[in-house]
């Protein structure tokens, strides 16, 4: 998340270290809660928006 990757831009200038860890912990929690992969949770729904994802 800090440096970005193949399809994700870097967020080092937009999010603090604490905010980046909050995002990571949120995704981990949703994955454990739903028993799905993070990729499945973050896929756009039929309306084009990401699935409801609130932490």
Q: Are the C-beta atoms of residues 1 and 7 closer than 8 Å to each other?
A: no
Tell me 44's DSSP state: B
Write the pLDDT tens digit of every residue in 5-55.
Answer: 888 888 889 989 998 898 888 888 877 777 666 565 555 555 555 555 566
- As a whole number of angstroms, the distance between CA 11 and CA 29 comes to 21
3-state secondary structure of 39: helix
pTM for the whole structure? 0.57
Q: Are the C-beta atoms of residues 33 and 52 closer than 8 Å to each other?
A: no
- As a whole number of angstroms, the distance between CA 17 and CA 1 comes to 10
């Amino acid at each position: 998340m800090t440096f970005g990757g193949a399809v994700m831009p870097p967020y080092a200038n937009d999010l603090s270290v604490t905010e980046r860890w909050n995002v990571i912990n949120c995704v981990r929690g949703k994955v454990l809660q739903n028993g799905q992969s993070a990729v499945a949770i973050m896929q756009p729904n039929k309306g084009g928006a990401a699935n409801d994802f609130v932490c």
